[in-house]
């Protein structure tokens, strides 16, 4: 059984498009939680506090309205089978936001990669012996050398 209370009533979702009439005629009626509607038998609107019982989506709502206009809504839900509920915390990985399905994997794409190191051109700098060789070195890197003398 799932229960709770709130200050927000959902009774307005059951209102019909009629302008006037008694309280029960203003809302869709239902006598069980199988269909949505106000239960006129279990509701009491003749004296305060008013007790209004209604059903939306198999959830049983009870509004208790005081004479000063304040109201409290309690709700309860009895699931048909317990396998439809997860009884542990669910954590969303922020790295997976925006991903809605598994990635598409294409098996027939083959990439031939060089066997050189990514830093191979920087390692060749060790064979430069003087400053004039460094200014003409073009092994993938260009250096802007400013002589301040």
Q: Are 24 and 38 in contact (CB under 8 A)?
A: yes
- Residue 91 has a pLDDT of 79
Q: Does residue 80 carry a pLDDT above 90? A: no
- Please tell me the predicted confidence (pLDDT) of residue 54: 95
pTM over 0.85: no
Q: Residue 3 carries which DSSP code?
A: E
Q: Is 98 helix (H, G, I), strand (E, B) or coil?
A: coil
């Amino acid at each position: 059984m799932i229960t709770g209370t709130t200050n927000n009533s959902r009774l307005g979702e059951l209102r019909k498009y009629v302008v006037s009439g008694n309280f029960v005629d203003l809302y869709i009626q239902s006598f069980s939680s199988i269909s949505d509607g106000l239960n006129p038998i279990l509701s009491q609107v003749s004296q305060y506090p008013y007790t209004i019982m209604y059903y939306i989506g198999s959830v049983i709502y009870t509004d208790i309205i005081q004479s000063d206009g304040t109201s409290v809504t309690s709700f309860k839900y009895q699931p048909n089978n317990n396998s439809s509920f997860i009884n542990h915390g669910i954590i969303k990985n922020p790295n997976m936001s925006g991903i809605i399905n598994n990635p598409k994997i294409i098996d027939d794409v083959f990439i031939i990669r060089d066997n050189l190191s990514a830093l191979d051109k920087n390692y060749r700098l060790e064979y430069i012996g003087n400053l004039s060789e460094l200014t003409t070195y073009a092994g993938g890197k260009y250096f802007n050398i400013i002589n301040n003398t």
